Structure 1
Amino acid sequence: MTRLMVLGLLKKQPMSGYEIQRFLQLDHVNQWAEILPGSIYHALKKLESESYIEIDTIEHTGNRAKATYIITDQGEQEYARLIEESLSRPSLVFPTDIYTALLFHGDLAREQVLIAVESQIDLIRKKYDETRTAQAEQNDLSDEEVLIFDHMYSLFKAHLKLLNGIRLYIQRNKK
């Protein structure tokens, strides 16, 4: 996904690694994309070695050099391929950690299980609230961004429903 994100941003305009990182932070894309700063720089080097991007300019400030990259024609073809691949590949992810732990929850004390589930519920609610705040801070969301946020809220709610169901099950059935 990092490759697609980097190519997509460079298609919009020439950018440095730092500018890409800032865009992801300021637009709160990093909340759902989970792209680490190091992976941006790794992707830039790899994409450059594959001739999908190239250095447009290099600015020198003191001992630092800031390279600004542009997408190449070959990069635009790769970008289109990655979009098509991403849209056609199922991306449904099941919470396999929770499913597996649920199968073996009987090996823990009831209180331990409930504390762990409550902890995750709290974390999911916090992430939900952070996402709501991030959306509220956005001005003029595109239709695509609205779809993304709506889907994220659906996933939060589904996950909370599962966790609340587990909590009720444990409270009723575990001795």
Structure 2
Amino acid sequence: MPPRATVTPIALAVLALLQEGPMHPYRMLHELRIRGQMASVRRSAGSIYHAVTTLERRGLVATEGTHRTGRRPEHTAYVSTEHGRQELRRSLAAMLRGAGTDPSTLATALIWIDMLDASEAADALRERVAHLQKALTTATSGDAASAAAAYRAHMLRAERDWLVELVRRLEQRPLRKDSERCHEPDLADLYSSTRVLPWS
């Protein structure tokens, strides 16, 4: 069985943000808000602090130092450790691969997909597509007359087709980095169009 992600979506976001440099939790929250990514991680400031504490306990992040700006309270900045960088890539690939998980997990992984090499991301998504195809075959092999069964088959087919197109794009060009990125697909994009892609 392929390895599973060992960090939550919010912890993945923390690790990804720390690849940009030292940050304190409040700034992480600010960055997620201004980038429009709070809806994907679905968490509050308290959740970010909890994620940082858990990651530090696991040795995935470390304290960089305590700073004060003007009259504001002191805050502690964190950095990613080498173990944290490795776990980010491993868990990100696992989230991309993980068919059958909460769709919001895939949406979160897609935000940070450029943390992986294009070939690594494509390999993970091919596995997801294979799982989706199996699930679709099962969903359409029995009684598909009910609205629930038809809905599930439609959603599986839509995700599969969208990801097949995404893999094709990954094979054609490398992922863009933060300074070059266009709009990442949100959950509505994922299920409504095979043409709304980060590289469109």
Distance, in Å, in 2 between the alignment partners of 1:21 and 1:93 is 22
Identity percentage over the alignment? Answer: 23
Moved segments of 4+, more than 3 Å: 60-63, 91-94, 153-157
Corresponding residue of 1:152: 188
Give structure 1 stretches of 5+ with no counterpart.
95-101, 104-139, 158-175
Is residue 2:32 matched to residue 1:24? Answer: yes
Distance, in Å, in 2 between the alignment partners of 1:93 and 1:5 is 16
Is residue 2:84 matched to residue 1:48? Answer: no
- Could you state the TM-score of these two structures normalised by the residue count of structure 1? 0.54
Structure 1 156/12 Cα, relative in aligned 2: closer, same or farther at 3 Å?
A: same
Is residue 2:6 matched to residue 1:3? Answer: no
Query: Match for 1:66: what amino acid?
Result: H
Corresponding residue of 1:82: 91
- Could you state the TM-score of these two structures normalised by the residue count of structure 2? 0.48
- Report the CA distance between 1:65 and its aligned residue: 2.1
Written as runs of structure 1 = structure 2, the 5 A alignment for 1:1-175 is 1-60=9-68, 64-90=73-99, 93=102, 142-143=181-182, 145-146=183-184, 148-149=185-186, 151-153=187-189, 155=191
- Report the CA distance between 1:43 and its aligned residue: 0.5
SS in 2 for 1:90: coil
Structure 1 92/12 Cα, relative in aligned 2: closer, same or farther at 3 Å?
A: same
RMSD: 2.7
Structure 1 154/88 Cα, relative in aligned 2: closer, same or farther at 3 Å?
A: closer
Give structure 2 stretches of 5+ with no counterpart.
1-8, 104-146, 149-178, 194-200
Query: Match for 1:67: what amino acid?
Result: T
What's the CA shift string for 1:34-63, capped at 9, x where partnerless? 122211000000111111101112014658
Number of aligned pairs? 111
Distance, in Å, in 2 between the alignment partners of 1:17 and 1:154 is 29
Q: Which has the higher Rg, Structure 1 or Structure 2?
A: 1
The structure with the largest helix share of the pair is: 1
